[in-house]
């Protein structure tokens, strides 16, 4: 069976940056299973997997626009420490949910702390980074009706909400 929309796809992968440093990998753990065509993985990788079959191995380079987006300086902001009311200790790298100007929720990360000035960054940590995947397609199968109605893959014992 070839990978197409509404198929359950299981892949082994290693993700590296341009310097060859491993960013993420399924090595040593379970392969990644996702429902193809639902936006469960980044578009650049999903597009390259379409039409592939179990056993196929491919190397894919995904540019930022098809990955986690371009890096935007406008998403960096310095705010007063008082905005973190109820949080005793702040540290660089901590992540918080914040309301964006359009009312949606977004994750922001503390990028720097200088006294009462806290610099937050709303960019994804991999924004602006070209991504290099080494992927092996492990399995391709039809999704169950339940998986299709829920919009995600269920494990071998089903899924309980």
Q: pTM of the predicted model, to two decimals?
A: 0.83
* Residue 161 pLDDT: 47
Round to whole Å and give the CA distance between 144 and 158.
10
* Residue 104 pLDDT: 86
* Residue 22 pLDDT: 97
pLDDT in tens, the chain (161 residues): 999 999 999 999 999 999 999 999 999 999 999 999 999 999 999 999 999 999 999 999 999 999 999 999 999 999 999 999 889 899 999 999 988 778 888 899 999 999 999 999 999 999 999 999 999 999 999 999 999 888 889 876 444 44
Domain with CATH 3.10.50.40 in the chain: 7-68+127-150
Domain with CATH 2.40.10.330 in the chain: 73-121
Query: Does CATH place domain 7-68+127-150 in 3.10.50.40?
Result: yes
Q: Transcribe the chain into DSSP letters.
A: -B--TTEEEEEEEEEE-TT--EEEE-TTSPPEEEETTTTSS-HHHHHHHTT-BTT-EEEEEE-GGGTT----GGGEEEEEGGGGTT-----TT-EEEEE-TTS-EEEEEEEEEETTEEEEE-S-TTTT--EEEEEEEEEEEEPPHHHHHHTS--BTTB---
Which fold is adopted by the domain 73-121? Thrombin, subunit H (2.40.10)
Residue 13 and residue 42 in contact, taking contact as beta carbons nearer than 8 Å: no
* Residue 156 pLDDT: 60
């Amino acid at each position: 069976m070839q990978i197409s929309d509404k198929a359950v796809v299981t892949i082994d992968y290693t993700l590296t940056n341009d310097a060859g440093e491993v960013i993420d990998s399924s090595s040593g753990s379970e392969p990644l299973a996702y429902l193809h065509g639902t936006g469960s993985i980044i578009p650049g990788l999903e597009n390259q997997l379409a039409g592939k079959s179990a056993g196929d191995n491919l190397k894919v380079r995904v540019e930022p626009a098809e990955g986690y987006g371009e890096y935007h300086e406008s998403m960096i902001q310095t705010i007063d420490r008082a905005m973190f009311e109820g949080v005793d200790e702040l540290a660089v790298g901590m992540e918080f949910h914040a309301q964006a100007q359009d009312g949606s929720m977004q994750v922001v990360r503390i990028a720097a702390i200088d006294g009462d000035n806290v610099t937050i960054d709303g960019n994804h940590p991999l924004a602006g980074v070209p991504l290099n995947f080494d992927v092996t397609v492990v399995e391709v199968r039809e999704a169950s009706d339940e998986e299709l109605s829920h919009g995600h893959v269920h494990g071998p014992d089903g899924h309980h909400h």
